[in-house]
Structure 1
Amino acid sequence: MRWLFLLGSCWLTLAQAALPFNVPEALSKAQLPADSVAIIVQPVDGGAPLISHNAAKAMNPASVMKLVTTYAALEALTPAYRWKTEVYRNGTLNQGVLDGDLIIKGYGDPALNITEFWRLLQQVQQQGIRQIKGNLVLDLSVYAPEVGQRPVLDDEPWRAYNANPSALLLNGRNTSFRFAVANTGNQPSVQLSQEFELPQIRVINTMQIRKGACNDWRSDLRYSITPQTDGVTVAFSGTLPSQCDARYLELSVLSDTQYVFLSFKKLWAQLGGQFNGQLVLAPATDANTLVTTWLSPPLDSVVRDINKWSNNVMARQLMLTMALEAGFTPADETGAALTLKQVLRQRGLQFAELVVENGSGLSRTERISAEHLAQLLVTAWQRPVMPVLMASMPILGLDGTTKKRLADSNSQGMAYLKTGSLEGVSSIAGYVQDMAGKRYVLVVIANHARASAVRKVQDALLKQLIEGR
């Protein structure tokens, strides 16, 4: 295409103070006003930018904000940081019978999943508790209550990406629904199942099979959620294309405490334990007896899940953890934002335009300029945490959110990039290596109703920088 050729010719050997002439033409071809896009390309050694356009303009970065949060967290907490989840008891324990309550205190572990929770409960039973005559008490006191009550950003309140933080977040509080074409009997049907099945999540499946490719499999899928006193009913209708292999939809249909309680009851029984108590929310006290402590995977593992798959609630939990460790108890987003900015200032990164709401980019108010995001990446390149941060980013054409981008070109594997997308926002930022081995920082942010059209510009810039054409 002609506009791709014009974009390619913009790369100059001299540093540029403004956008080269033919890039505005490329943006025009994409029907994007030049002032709606910010671009910067800069050597990782901090040399003068090759391209700088609207670089100082404060922009909504969407999920690219996760680079700011994860870099600050790696500096503040270290890559070896681990979260703890404590289990206490009250009452007496005699021959496996606890005549009292079991108490679980969360500290905001963003990576606590069903498998790890099962192992934690196994540890509890190994400490001699087999029957609980009291209740299950959950202590969520390290977070301010309001952090779990934030309004959602769009009209999909049940989607997992909208889940609010919790001091005791299990499995990201999401239920993964699996859709597959079943070819049993005379007519194919839609097979629907939960990845971790809870009987209190009742599924109604009236979906049908339609002919066609799987590219737009979500286009005719509909669901409704009906909360009930003892659980929730999830009804699916619409159609699934016949050429689909297994597809998944993650929904958060239970509250954080419901999900923990119902998962506890199922796993405790599977482990052979007995429990008939209720759910109680209350803080642990000094009078309680510590039973066991669970430690999460290290932060260097957690940031990979956050950045490669753009996990919003994990990023929000991470920012709140920085506040906790800085002494803000209970933690909230205000203290977390202050802590994050202080960490950046200690590394010489003082950004007047920076606005941090929750650290995930799932926000209409978060702001950063392209030049300051590039400055952060250049600074990170010189820091000991650089290998961890870079390894957490999706690899172009190979994995994460960039798996399908430029996958069939020589650019595959030549860039580590975080992507961001909201309605009206499209962004990309990270490290790029050209065929000669020289590395650059690239940031492209578009804020416009047609922001998704900037993807062609992003890909053309990447291809030109990497392949020289």
Structure 2
Amino acid sequence: MQRVLRKSGWVAAIVALCAARASAQALPADLAPAWQKTGLPESAMSLVVQEIGGPRLATVNAQTPRNPASVMKLVTTWAALSELGPTYKWTTELMSDPGAAIVNGALSGPLYVRAAGDPDLMLQDLWTLLRDLRLQGVKQIGDVVVDRSIFGNVATDPGAFDNAPDRAYNASPDAFMVGFGAQRLMFMADAATHAWRVAMDPPLPNVTLQGKLDWSNAACQGPYEVYTTPVVTPQGTTFKLSGTLPGACGDFSLYRLALTQPAQTAGVFRELWKELGGTMTGQVRDGTAPADGTVLASHDSPELGDVIRIINKHSNNVMARTLLLTLGAERGLRPATVASSDAVATRVLAEQGLPMTGLVLDNGAGLARDARVSAGDLAALLGAAWKSPYMPEFVSSLAILGEDGTVKKRLRHGQAAGRAHLKTGTLRDVRAMAGYVTGASGKRYIVVFLLNNEKADEKAGALRYFDDALVAWLARR
């Protein structure tokens, strides 16, 4: 009799275990109505929900590689953070030949720029760097030689991805990139004349503006269309402005790509140097800085832990691409390329016990049609990051639900607000979300949702409703 009872007990346990596993393989019943609103098949999506240090609550198509859009930035930023550390910095240096002299304010020989691939080198940083050079007594320079040798041929066609070559998110990576390579167009509302004034910052001789923005006395309720149509000729780029906007909307800026990264940086360099009272008699050209050159001025970037906050919270593509190349340069062969950097990132993850089978990192930003990763591998990465000493830096790089970044306007007034750190991703036919959610019980959960389907854009509203329902469901637990 005891033997029969013991056997029946084992059978019951096995049945219960199988039932638990079966339930974890399906979409939770609480989320089924939200998913049904999308009208899409479950085969189009992958889902992993797991309690940190506990069981999986849901697993759907977890091992299917899918395009994650900008959620791929989690892979890039974690690989770089875990390998380079949160205090890593990029140093951009202005140098001269060894023994070069400054005579009556003129620097003998070229001025070298040893570029470091700083993804966060802004206009004000270059201004400070050049001002430090002026404080060294330099007023006149000849040729400016930019050493980009940390990276190989990594330039891309900004129009290749979606035929929008003027959009800042399509910027090409470059070892010496200033302000993400984008031109600032400032729109200033002049209430006295009921007219919009437009200026470029900084002004460049081969970038011009034509047309105007019409003034409206309507309330600023939006959305309002402002057009900056680029016309590219051998002489440069002209932005043709058009559209109507209420003056009540106030001043604002748009950022547009006008030139290649080297041409943009050269133009900005010349303009800032002139504003600082300097003169330049030569050209800006590529070359190699002398290994034993004299450093005249240098600029350190913010620490990597701060840089990935910009990348992930605001989904900055060119910064992510440059960070991937930096990882390749620091832990692989120089000059770094996308292919060699992908290999380094894959090796770094594998050494952490994250083989990431099926991973196609591509450019590291997710702005690619061929990029692939599985929800299961992303969940494993998020789990490994949580156990790492660098967990605080990584988690704080993600957007806080209802408070900042790309999820600032989502679930702002519900129980879930502030309870999730997330990275979202959107491309044509792609919707994705991944990160961490803190439940009402204090338990923490990993969530990964990837969807690839040709109706994703058509179903955008319903998919956002599902995402919100998913996060809210975890926040209540």
Which secondary structure state, in structure 1, belongs to the residue aligned with residue 325 of structure 2? helix
Aligned to 2:227: 221
Larger Rg: 2
Q: Is the 8 A contact 1:39 1:55 kept in 2?
A: yes
Task: Give the CA deviation at 1:40.
Answer: 1.4
Q: Structure 1 residues 131 and 319 mapped into 2: Cα distance closer, same or farther (>3 Å)?
A: same
Which secondary structure state, in structure 1, belongs to the residue aligned with residue 56 of structure 2? coil
Corresponding residue to 2:346 among 341, 344, 366:
341
Which secondary structure state, in structure 1, belongs to the residue aligned with residue 398 of structure 2? coil
Task: State the alpha-carbon separation in 2 of the partners of residues 456 and 340 from structure 1.
Answer: 34
Aligned to 1:356: 361
Q: Say whether 1:105 aligns with 2:114.
A: yes
Q: Say whether 1:173 aligns with 2:165.
A: no
What runs of 5+ residues in structure 1 fail to find an aligned partner? 1-11
Q: Structure 1 residues 31 and 193 mapped into 2: Cα distance closer, same or farther (>3 Å)?
A: farther
Q: Is the 8 A contact 1:225 1:253 kept in 2?
A: no
Which secondary structure state, in structure 2, belongs to the residue aligned with residue 50 of structure 1? strand
Task: State the alpha-carbon separation in 1 of the partners of residues 362 and 275 from structure 2.
Answer: 41
Q: Is the 8 A contact 1:214 1:243 kept in 2?
A: no
Q: Is the 8 A contact 1:24 1:34 kept in 2?
A: no
Task: Give the CA deviation at 1:21.
Answer: 5.2
Task: State the alpha-carbon separation in 2 of the partners of residues 334 and 168 from structure 1.
Answer: 20
Q: Say whether 1:255 aligns with 2:260.
A: yes
Identity within the alignment, %: 37
Q: Is the 8 A contact 2:95 2:297 kept in 1?
A: yes
Q: Say whether 1:430 aligns with 2:435.
A: yes
Corresponding residue to 2:73 among 51, 66, 79:
66
Which secondary structure state, in structure 1, belongs to the residue aligned with residue 432 of structure 2? strand
Task: Give the CA deviation at 1:212.
Answer: 6.1
How do residues 83-232 of structure 1 correspond to structure 2 at under 5 angstroms? 83-90=90-97, 91-132=100-141, 134-149=142-157, 152-185=160-193, 188-210=194-216, 211=218, 213-218=220-225, 221-229=227-235, 231-232=236-237
Q: Is the 8 A contact 1:15 1:48 kept in 2?
A: no
Aligned to 2:239: 234
Which secondary structure state, in structure 2, belongs to the residue aligned with residue 235 of structure 1? strand
Deviation larger for 30-39 or 73-82:
30-39
Task: State the alpha-carbon separation in 2 of the partners of residues 450 and 241 from structure 1.
Answer: 35
After superposition, what is the alpha-carbon deviation per residue over 1:398-429, rounded to whole angstroms, capped at 9, x for unaligned?
Answer: 11111100112222111110111111111111
Deviation larger for 412-421 or 151-160:
151-160
Task: State the alpha-carbon separation in 2 of the partners of residues 44 and 197 from structure 1.
Answer: 52
Q: Quick one: which amino acid aligns to residue 330 of structure 2?
A: E
Q: Quick one: which amino acid aligns to residue 39 of structure 2?
A: Q
Q: Structure 1 residues 94 and 195 mapped into 2: Cα distance closer, same or farther (>3 Å)?
A: closer
Q: Quick one: which amino acid aligns to residue 41 of structure 1?
A: V
Which secondary structure state, in structure 2, belongs to the residue aligned with residue 65 of structure 1? helix
Q: Is the 8 A contact 1:217 1:244 kept in 2?
A: no
Q: Say whether 1:36 aligns with 2:44.
A: yes
Task: State the alpha-carbon separation in 2 of the partners of residues 320 and 340 from structure 1.
Answer: 10
What runs of 5+ residues in structure 2 fail to find an aligned partner? 1-19
Task: State the alpha-carbon separation in 1 of the partners of residues 48 and 229 from structure 2.
Answer: 42
Aligned to 1:462: 471
Which secondary structure state, in structure 2, belongs to the residue aligned with residue 178 of structure 1? strand
TM-score norm. by structure 2 comes to 0.89
Q: Quick one: which amino acid aligns to residue 463 of structure 2?
A: V
After superposition, what is the alpha-carbon deviation per residue over 1:208-236, rounded to whole angstroms, capped at 9, x for unaligned?
Answer: 24546543223x6352233453x432111
Task: State the alpha-carbon separation in 2 of the partners of residues 336 and 179 from structure 1.
Answer: 39
Q: Is the 8 A contact 1:86 1:294 kept in 2?
A: yes
Task: State the alpha-carbon separation in 1 of the partners of residues 234 and 184 from structure 2.
Answer: 20
Which secondary structure state, in structure 1, belongs to the residue aligned with residue 434 of structure 2? strand
How do residues 264-413 of structure 1 correspond to structure 2 at under 5 angstroms? 264-286=269-291, 288-413=293-418
Task: Give the CA deviation at 1:176.
Answer: 2.5
After superposition, what is the alpha-carbon deviation per residue over 1:100-152, rounded to whole angstroms, capped at 9, x for unaligned?
Answer: 211112121101111111111122222332211x2122121221124445763
After superposition, what is the alpha-carbon deviation per residue over 1:18-39, rounded to whole angstroms, capped at 9, x for unaligned?
Answer: 2235645532321222211111
Q: Is the 8 A contact 1:147 1:332 kept in 2?
A: no
After superposition, what is the alpha-carbon deviation per residue over 1:367-391, rounded to whole angstroms, capped at 9, x for unaligned?
Answer: 1111111111011000011100111
Aligned to 1:7: none
Which secondary structure state, in structure 2, belongs to the residue aligned with residue 265 of structure 1? helix
Task: State the alpha-carbon separation in 1 of the partners of residues 292 and 393 from structure 2.
Answer: 41
Which secondary structure state, in structure 2, belongs to the residue aligned with residue 59 of structure 1? coil
Task: State the alpha-carbon separation in 2 of the partners of residues 74 and 405 from structure 1.
Answer: 28
Q: Quick one: which amino acid aligns to residue 196 of structure 2?
A: V
Q: Is the 8 A contact 1:15 1:49 kept in 2?
A: no
Q: How many residues were matched structurally? A: 451
Task: State the alpha-carbon separation in 1 of the partners of residues 106 and 30 from structure 2.
Answer: 76
Q: Structure 1 residues 247 and 34 mapped into 2: Cα distance closer, same or farther (>3 Å)?
A: farther
Task: State the alpha-carbon separation in 2 of the partners of residues 14 and 37 from structure 1.
Answer: 18
Q: Quick one: which amino acid aligns to residue 447 of structure 1?
A: N
Q: Structure 1 residues 13 and 437 mapped into 2: Cα distance closer, same or farther (>3 Å)?
A: farther
Task: State the alpha-carbon separation in 2 of the partners of residues 93 and 213 from structure 1.
Answer: 55
Q: Structure 1 residues 123 and 181 mapped into 2: Cα distance closer, same or farther (>3 Å)?
A: closer
Aligned to 1:445: 450
Q: Is the 8 A contact 1:85 1:104 kept in 2?
A: yes
Q: Is the 8 A contact 1:14 1:50 kept in 2?
A: no
Corresponding residue to 1:54 among 29, 41, 61:
61
Q: Structure 1 residues 259 and 147 mapped into 2: Cα distance closer, same or farther (>3 Å)?
A: closer
Which secondary structure state, in structure 2, belongs to the residue aligned with residue 176 of structure 1? strand
Aligned to 2:13: none
After superposition, what is the alpha-carbon deviation per residue over 1:139-186, rounded to whole angstroms, capped at 9, x for unaligned?
Answer: 21221124445763102111010011101011100122233543223x
Q: Quick one: which amino acid aligns to residue 68 of structure 1?
A: V
